[in-house]
Structure 1
Amino acid sequence: MRVISLSVDGIFQAAQRGLFDWLDSQDADVICLQDLRALEYELEDKPVFQLDGYFSYFFDSGTPHYNGVAIYTRKQPKALIFGLGFSSGVDMEGRYLQIDYEQLSIGSMLAPSATSEMESQEVKIKFFDDLQAHLDKITRKRREFIFCGNWAMAHTPRDVTNPEKNEHESGFLPHERQWLSQVFNQIGYVDAFRKANKDPDEYSWWPSGKINDGEGWRTDMQIVSAPIGQRVEHAAIYKIQQFSSHLPVIVDYDIEL
């Protein structure tokens, strides 16, 4: 099973840059897109935003030109879940859409971004605290998970071009890195990309908007439950063509839907 994840910086712009032509050539089983910046009615039933042989699902923000996620899948899911259901409601500051199969769930997630403004930082911290509790809870279910998304943070020094310079920047703050360490080391989830690809200089996001121009970050990940982590066969970041300031993350799993 091939899963592709990409934060598109607006699906209209990404489509104009050839995203859907490229996706059509990738033979992916599931495609997770984030940061659509479009409403569902603008996308559904329009040929340019459809892929032959795929079921498509969207979860917008209700606000034009702001966040939103999508999932394209070859196999029709048994259920759809919109949002993470946090009692705090903070999950709606980002967006999350999940498709369920018999024993496997795949989610497309856009985490809330944060700036230096205190309110944004507090929202981001609350979101990830609630998400950690959610991940801990679902580890006890008889179900495996693949969470694809723009996590708005990088984990280790090799995931940022200049870690010393950026250690005080949102996305690489000590508490953000610690959060990811807890998810991996304590709860037991796996960074699927790093399971198969140990290479340095593997970045998925370029704040400048241009690949190899300025500093790169690896903020786009497929974080999976432990048994799925043992079934990662191949992982790559596609760098030949650029559709947004982020690059597609491609992971092949030894799984059949």
Structure 2
Amino acid sequence: MPSAATIAPDPASSAAPAGSSDSATTRLRIASVNVNGVRAAYRKGMAEWLADRDVDILALQEVRASTEDLEGLLGPEWSILHDAATAKGRAGVALASRSTAAIHRVELGATEFDSAGRWLEADYEVNGKLITVVSTYVHSGEVDTPKQVEKFKFLDAMLERLPALAAHSDRAVVLGDLNVGHRRFDIKNWRGNVKRAGFLPEERAYFDRIVGAEDAPDYNAGAGLGWVDVGRRWAGEVDGPFTWWSWRGQAFDNDTGWRIDYQLATPALAASVTEYAVDRAAAYDRRWSDHSPVVVDYAL
């Protein structure tokens, strides 16, 4: 079993807890993880984690496999949506669920913009409510290269799409590897990374527009486009909890990580969170990806 870094729910939340005796409440557990190649992740232990976690909707990034591979690994009990990258063996996002999605979409940005393998939307009906879930994988970028240009194009398209998503469903969540640490709390060694992709001021400004700047009076509570960074709301003003660590050196053992995996929710959905956890592996040699799953329970 992973070591789950669980953040206790806000006592002021009106959402019913998971397992509530209220028969009108359904717990929806959504997990997201960059698997860094799903076939390799399964060889290293992902199947055991998934079997123990009772997940309802699973968002994957960097699948790097075919739909047939996913179906063979996950099994027939999962309904699978998969958007593969244009370049074979690269990127790829997926959504797997215990129930079938009502509809799904993969388009993002202008028609000439290639978002393949990086943005997948699906609508689900849970307890009579429409829930929209997006699995996304933002480019890692590289300063002063075409890779960074593509990253900014993707973030621009994402900013344009978010208001339409919120208008489509007041219970929507965008989750995945967003490859940006928004605040100093999100990177252990932030001072050494302010000129590197992933913590550039220009990149962090996108998150200011999504959830608000950290000095905004309503940061993460209506600022910007009004979305809520669920991880930061529930963790509070603390370092991490980190979700990615380099394979190199002692980064994992020293918890020298980055929090770049998010669940960004609309206010109505964020208000229903009852538990947030980062399933950090118990030890370096128990890792099956360089990212850890982010698992959130919503009470609907």
TM-score in terms of structure 1 length = 0.90
Of 267, 274, 277, the residue aligned with 1:226 is 267
Larger Rg: 2
1:189 aligns with 2:227: yes
Confirm or deny: 8 A CA contact 1:69 1:108 kept in the other structure.
yes
The range that moved more, 60-69 or 160-169, is 60-69
1:171 aligns with 2:193: no
Which amino acid is 2:50 matched to? L
1:40 aligns with 2:67: yes
Partner of 2:124: 101
How far is 1:65 from its partner?
Answer: 1.6
How far is 1:82 from its partner?
Answer: 2.2
Aligned counterparts of 2:86 and 2:190: Cα–Cα separation in 1: 36
Of 101, 104, 110, the residue aligned with 1:87 is 110
Which residues of structure 1 form unaligned runs of 5+? Answer: none
Listed one character per residue, the Cα deviations across residues 1-27 of structure 1 (whole Å, up to 9, x for unaligned) are 111100011111100011022101111
Which residues of structure 2 form unaligned runs of 5+? Answer: 1-27, 213-223
Confirm or deny: 8 A CA contact 1:154 1:217 kept in the other structure.
yes
How far is 1:64 from its partner?
Answer: 2.5
How far is 1:139 from its partner?
Answer: 2.9
Aligned counterparts of 2:36 and 2:161: Cα–Cα separation in 1: 27
Which amino acid is 1:95 matched to? R
How far is 1:214 from its partner?
Answer: 7.0
1:115 aligns with 2:142: yes
Confirm or deny: 8 A CA contact 1:39 1:64 kept in the other structure.
no
Aligned counterparts of 1:88 and 1:77: Cα–Cα separation in 2: 24
Q: 1:156 to 1:6 in 2, by over 3 A?
A: same
Aligned-partner SS, 2:132: strand
Aligned counterparts of 2:81 and 2:143: Cα–Cα separation in 1: 33
Confirm or deny: 8 A CA contact 2:187 2:239 kept in the other structure.
no
1:215 aligns with 2:272: no
Aligned counterparts of 1:167 and 1:178: Cα–Cα separation in 2: 13
Of 121, 138, 149, the residue aligned with 2:176 is 149
Confirm or deny: 8 A CA contact 2:243 2:278 kept in the other structure.
yes
Q: 1:131 to 1:201 in 2, by over 3 A?
A: closer
How far is 1:149 from its partner?
Answer: 0.7
Aligned counterparts of 1:173 and 1:63: Cα–Cα separation in 2: 27
Taking only aligned residues, the RMSD between alpha carbons, in angstroms, comes to 1.9
Aligned counterparts of 1:133 and 1:62: Cα–Cα separation in 2: 22
Aligned residues: 251
How far is 1:151 from its partner?
Answer: 0.2
Partner of 1:244: 289
User: % of aligned pairs identical?
Assistant: 27
**Once superposed, which parts of structure 1, at least 4 consecutive aligned residues long, lie more than 6 Å away?**
none
Which amino acid is 1:244 matched to? S
How far is 1:55 from its partner?
Answer: 1.3
Aligned counterparts of 1:93 and 1:115: Cα–Cα separation in 2: 20
Aligned-partner SS, 1:187: coil
Confirm or deny: 8 A CA contact 1:206 1:213 kept in the other structure.
no
Confirm or deny: 8 A CA contact 1:38 1:67 kept in the other structure.
no
How far is 1:91 from its partner?
Answer: 4.8
Aligned counterparts of 2:198 and 2:116: Cα–Cα separation in 1: 17
Aligned counterparts of 1:41 and 1:25: Cα–Cα separation in 2: 23
How far is 1:166 from its partner?
Answer: 0.8
Partner of 1:23: 50
Aligned counterparts of 2:210 and 2:32: Cα–Cα separation in 1: 20
Aligned-partner SS, 2:88: coil
Aligned-partner SS, 1:139: helix
How far is 1:245 from its partner?
Answer: 0.7
Aligned-partner SS, 2:198: coil
TM-score in terms of structure 2 length = 0.78
